[in-house]
């Protein structure tokens, strides 16, 4: 079993924006994330710990300005916390092992796919293409990622 964890080396390798988002619970500007328009098949993992978070097959275009997913690929790798910042009540999403701030989950997703929208910052994610998943240690998740986007 792979051990996913936050390391000083991983945090030190973050760009300023990645650090702001993951370590200081920041938010990237809408429409600017490097993975927003990615339609390739693969796996989205925590940029800090490498833990698998979302499958490309669960990504959809919500129009909100951030990558949106209907569910996590491994629910145990995602923590949901009450967030009362900015004068509103929301549910924050963090990686369970890396403790990275990922974004928020809302109940306005596609009804036919569970009704949730995981609104996630690109800066908190690293994308692993399906063709590279086995070599990168994510072969156990291949059956959850479609062959074509």
Q: What 3-state DSSP class applies to 118?
A: strand
β-strands 68-69, 42-46: how paired? unpaired
Counting every residue written for the chain, the total comes to: 149
Q: Which of 96, 119, 120, 125 is catalytic?
A: 119
d(CA 9, CA 82): 29
Tokens 């070599």: give the residue.
135
Is 119 annotated in the active site? yes
Radius of gyration of the chain (CA): 14
Residues 117 and 126: beta-carbon distance below 8 Å: no
Question: Which residues are tagged catalytic?
Answer: 119
């Amino acid at each position: 079993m792979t051990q996913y964890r936050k390391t000083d080396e991983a945090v030190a390798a973050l760009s300023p924006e990645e650090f702001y988002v993951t370590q200081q619970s920041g938010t990237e500007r809408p429409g600017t994330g490097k993975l927003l328009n990615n339609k390739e098949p693969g796996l989205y993992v925590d940029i800090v710990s490498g833990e698998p978070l979302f499958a490309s097959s669960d990504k959809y275009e919500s129009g909100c300005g951030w990558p949106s997913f209907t569910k996590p690929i491994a629910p145990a790798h995602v923590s949901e916390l009450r967030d009362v910042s900015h004068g509103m009540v929301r549910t924050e999403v963090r990686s369970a092992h890396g403790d990275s701030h990922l974004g928020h989950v809302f109940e306005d997703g596609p009804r036919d796919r569970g009704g949730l929208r995981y609104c996630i910052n690109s800066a908190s994610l690293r994308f692993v293409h399906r063709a590279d998943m086995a070599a990168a240690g994510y072969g156990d998740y291949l059956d959850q990622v479609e062959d074509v986007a």
